[in-house]
């Protein structure tokens, strides 16, 4: 799996494409993977720095998540390790879920971001200094 590839919101990360069939996706994997069953609705394939979510009923990819070890970028600007403040330079950022904070950019569909749990930051330090730990693209359909 190439760790230095483009992130395309709502479409793909590298050559793994949203809405493609599981069988097609599997032909693109050039490394070992672990398949995990998640409840009754999906499987998650774990490959190095990437997780690929497949719907059991349709057998299609509906989410691709990258984390530590991934070197690719979103528009040559945002990568794993970028700070929340860097993300805010792209547009208005809002938190979609307070329990598990997931950040999205207003007007840009099919992508979300999660921050590192950084205990090294002082309580007074701004959230903007926290680093991106996970980037996910997902299908709206």
Please state the pTM of the whole predicted model: 0.91
pLDDT of residue 28: 93
The closest alpha carbon to 52, from 24, 87, 74, belongs to 24
Q: Answer whether residue 70 is part of any domain.
A: yes
CATH number for 65: 2.60.460.10
Give the end-to-end CA distance of the chain in Å, rounded to a whole number.
26
Predicted local confidence at residue 4, as pLDDT: 87
DSSP designation for 86: H
Residue 140 has pLDDT above 60, yes or no: yes
Range of 36's domain? Answer: 7-138
Token pair 């999660």 is found at: 114
55-114 per-position pLDDT tens digit: 999 999 999 999 999 999 999 999 999 999 999 999 999 988 777 889 999 999 999 999
SS (H, E, C) 96-125: EECCCCEEEECCCCCEEEEECCCCCCCCCC
Q: Is residue 1 part of a domain?
A: no
Please list, in sequence order, all residues whose beta carbon lies within 8 angstroms of the beta carbon of residue 89, skipping any fewer than 6 positions away: 77
Q: Is the dihedral of CA 65, 62, 53, 20 positive or negative?
A: negative
Model confidence pLDDT, tens digit, residues 7-45: 999 999 999 999 999 999 999 998 899 999 999 999 999
Residues 6+ apart with CB under 8 A from 7: 13, 66, 72, 73, 74, 78, 111, 135, 137
How many domains is the chain partitioned into structurally?
1
Assess whether pLDDT exceeds 80 at residue 128: yes
- Residue 2 falls inside a structural domain: no
């Amino acid at each position: 799996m190439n760790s230095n590839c483009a992130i395309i919101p709502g479409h793909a990360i590298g050559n793994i494409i949203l809405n493609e069939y599981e069988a097609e996706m599997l032909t693109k994997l050039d490394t070992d993977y672990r398949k995990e069953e998640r409840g009754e609705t999906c499987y998650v394939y774990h490959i190095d720095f990437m997780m690929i979510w497949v719907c059991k009923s349709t057998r299609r990819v509906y989410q691709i998540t990258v984390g530590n070890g991934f070197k690719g970028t979103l528009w040559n600007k945002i990568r794993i390790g970028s700070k929340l403040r860097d993300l805010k330079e792209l547009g208005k950022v809002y938190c979609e879920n307070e329990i598990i904070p997931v950040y999205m950019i207003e007007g840009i569909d099919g992508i979300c971001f999660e921050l590192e749990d950084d205990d090294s930051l002082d309580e007074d330090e701004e959230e903007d200094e926290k680093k991106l730990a996970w980037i996910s693209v997902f299908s709206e359909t």
